[in-house]
Amino acid sequence: MSADIKVPTLGESVTTATVAKWLKHPGDAVKEDDPLVELETDKVSVEVPAPQSGVLGPLLVPEGEEVEVGTVLSTIEAGSGAAPKPAAAPAPKKEAAPAGVQAQPAASGPVARPATPPSDVAAQGAAAVAFPSARKMMTEQGVSAAQVGTGTGKDGRITKGDVQTFLSQPRAAQPAAAARPPRQDDPREERVKMTRLRRTIARRLKDAQNTAALLTTFNEVDMSAVKQMRAEYKDLFVKKHNGTKLGFMSIFSRAVIAALQEFPAINAEIDGDDVIYREFVNLGIAVGGPNGLVVPVIRDADKMSFAEIESTIAGFGKKAREGTLKIDELSGGTFSITNGGIYGSLMSTPIINAPQSAILGMHAIQDRPVAVDGQVVIRPMMYIALTYDHRIVDGKEAVSFLVRVKQNVEDPRRLLLQV
């Protein structure tokens, strides 16, 4: 009995992946749950395990090819041993044919197989001469294996370091590309292939705009109380929680969670003609990684303390920088927070992470003059923005939610007293 090896569900809104590396060969004996093939998405790498024990069949998709969720990559035939591989007969020695003349097989020898088409040879060659990580970087940078040349890896395979070395060379020292794009570019222009991450971001943002009725409302938060609380308790917090630092993200997270419990539509989701309301909060926190912004999810964040949230966010940040986030850590969110302030953004309109119904945008803290009790004073202020799907969230709910977040942050005692 055979079982298909299919591309698994890759996470929220992730529909395609690239076959990075086959870990087994046709005819190999495999055990259930043995890793068979490594897939790369725009965010993470994932290994596909064997669905049963048996013998691996032909590889239906070569390395480097893009596949969709559900695509059959190979099959496994039930059995305990690898298929026997025929021993290769030693090739008889023969003299080289003169240039331009194709050698003919000896009369007693086997019939020669048809030559592989040149296009297939090129495709196989590109996969054979570079490691998956190197191929990914070459694709992102618009570089061919021929330009990089012979690699420093085993059997001359190109490594990621070889690509980085090539890219660090002055432009004039880099070999010319094998073929120019059909369009004649202006010499002052540079054509670079769009990365998978950028293509996915573009598609998802456009899908969100085409599907949801997006609207953004703004407010501003006086960060004085939060900064004072951090200054007063930061050392004690670190000591109490084994080195975990008290940051703004846990405070905003708890402020958001309290507001979501008061306004459940903002934590809900549209599914066809139904609305799914939730009694839990899976909070997505946008973090920066080498491949761009990713949004790992803090599951059941409503049950976590400040320290647990801070520790989880720190762990996600480390994994994002190392590229080790897993698929299940990037899916299942019910509401997201993004902090453009760490990059200096003063104001923005974030786009929701579908199928979620809203997202909160945090921004840079700036000292600004504000009126307090009839007096003009200088306070550390932050603009906050809530983008929401107007199909499910009314304007009054959105504005009231953002006001409640503002109140919770400006007076963190409200979170303790749950008022």
Q: How far apart are CA 121 and CA 406, in angstroms?
A: 62
Which tokens hold the place of 73?
A: 């990559």
Q: Please state, in angstroms and rounded to a whole number, the distance separating the CA atoms of residues 18 and 361.
A: 32
Q: Is 302 a catalytic residue?
A: no
Domain spans in the chain, listed from the N-terminal domain onward:
2-77, 203-417
Tokens of 3: 């079982």
Q: Which CATH code fits 2-77?
A: 2.40.50.100
Structure confidence by residue, pLDDT tens digits, 8-26: 887 655 678 888 889 999 9
Per the annotation, the verdict on 390 as an active-site residue is yes
Q: Classify residue 326 as exposed, middle or buried by CB count within 10 Å of its CB (0-12, 13-18, 19+).
A: middle
So what's the pLDDT on residue 325?
Answer: 84
Highest mean pLDDT among 28-37, 160-169, 207-216, 275-284: 275-284
Give yes or no for residue 104 having a pLDDT over 60. Answer: no
Q: Please confirm whether the linkage preceding 86 is cis (ω < 30° from 0).
A: no
Q: How far apart are the first and last CA of the chain?
A: 61
Does 78 score more than 90 pLDDT?
no
pLDDT number for residue 154: 66
pLDDT for 75: 93
pLDDT digits (tens, 9 = 90+) for 130-139: 777 778 788 8
Looking at the predicted structure, is the pLDDT value of residue 346 above 70? yes
- 183 falls in which pLDDT band (50, 70, 90)? low
- pLDDT at position 12: 59
Per-residue pLDDT at 125: 45
Identify whether the C-beta of residue 402 lies closer than 8 Å to the C-beta of residue 215. no
> Band of the pLDDT at 400, cuts 50, 70, 90?
very high
pLDDT at 320 (0 to 100): 87
Q: Could you give the count of Cα atoms lying within 13 Å of 356 in the half-sphere of its Cβ?
A: 29
Annotated catalytic residue, options 33, 207, 300, 394: 394
Model pLDDT for residues 371-388, shown as the tens digit of each residue: 999 999 999 999 999 999
pLDDT band at residue 97 using 50, 70 and 90 as cut-offs? very low
List all residues 6 or more positions away from 273 whose beta carbon is below 8 Å from its beta carbon.
none
Q: What is the pLDDT of residue 122?
A: 39
- Mean pLDDT rounded to a whole number for the chain: 82
Q: Which two tokens stand for residue 319?
A: 């994994």
Options 155, 367, 390, 411, the catalytic residue: 390
The top-scoring range by mean pLDDT among 78-82, 260-264, 291-295, 328-332 is 260-264
Report the sign of the C-alpha dihedral through residues 288, 293, 296, 301, in that order.
Answer: positive
Q: What is the C-alpha to C-alpha distance for residues 190 and 196, in angstroms, rounded to an integer? A: 19
Q: Is the pLDDT of residue 334 over 80?
A: yes
Whether residue 207 has pLDDT greater than 50: yes
More confident residue, 262 or 331: 262
Task: Find the mean pLDDT for residues 339-363.
Answer: 93
Q: Give the confidence band of 123 by pLDDT, cuts at 50, 70, 90.
A: very low
The confidence score (pLDDT) of residue 13 equals: 58
Are 2-77 and 203-417 equal in CATH topology?
no
The domain defined by 203-417 folds into Chloramphenicol Acetyltransferase (3.30.559)
Tokens of 237: 């917090």
